[in-house]
Amino acid sequence: MTSRTLTARDLAQIAIFAALIAALGLPGALSIGAGAVPVTFQTLGVMLTGAILGARKGFFAVLLFLALTAAGLPLFSGGRGGLVWFTTSPSAGYPYGWLLGVVVIGFFTARLLPRYPFWPALGATLLGGIVAVYLIGVPVTALNLGMPLWAALIDSLKFLPGDVLKAVVTVLVARQVHKAYPGLIAPRGWRSRRETAVSTQVTP
């Protein structure tokens, strides 16, 4: 049975990926469109966190980053921080979407390992890194700006090409990481369970 306790190694990985998400905000942010939601590389960090650490550790890494930012550290792109960015700003919903997105990516990644085929992995990353994030981010943008939901959705489409590119980069990087460091995420697919059961039966 897999232990639910976070080990020192797990905690170190969580801290490293929280720092990675923060570091990807250092280039700054560019706000475009009516919603004034910033274009940021930190979404790439969230995708990488889910694809490399999995749902559980990935969730805690994003949560740690958000907690530090909410406490006032200027870790969002452009040196932004504080509770206002989680409540009334146009982009307030997207950090919450990151929490959902990293879990979705990690959940499906665990079921694609150890093979981690490109197209299914890309589909999982798009589902978590775009669909799940937009599912929360877009309605909050509409609410905080007092605009129709359909208008906020159309405005968000300007981010789509960049987010798709981030998803592709995530899968390419994660494939190499899992090849070099197997075991970062425990495989959860039916094939992995069957192979584990067979290995257990033949082990003296």
Q: Write the CATH number of the domain with boundaries 8-188.
A: 1.10.1760.20
Read off the pLDDT band of 4 (50, 70, 90): confident
Average pLDDT over residues 125-148: 97
Instruction: Give the whole-angstrom CA distance, residue 53 versus residue 110.
Output: 9
The model's pLDDT over 52-92, given as tens digits with 9 standing for 90+, comes to 999 999 999 999 999 999 999 999 987 889 999 999 999 99
3-state secondary structure of 23: helix
Tell me the three state secondary structure of residue 37: strand
Q: How far is CA 66 from the centre of its chain?
A: 12
Give yes or no for residue 35 having a pLDDT over 60: no
How sure is the predictor about 188, in pLDDT bands with cuts at 50, 70 and 90?
Answer: confident
Copy the structure tokens of residue 3.
Answer: 């232990």
Among 133, 160, 155, smallest CA distance to 145 is for 155
What pLDDT score does 152 carry?
96
Average pLDDT score over the chain? 88
Asked if pLDDT for residue 30 goes beyond 90, the answer is no
More confident residue, 39 or 95: 95
Q: Which two tokens stand for residue 5?
A: 């306790």
How confident is residue 43, by pLDDT bands cut at 50, 70 and 90?
A: very high
Q: pTM of the predicted model, to two decimals?
A: 0.88
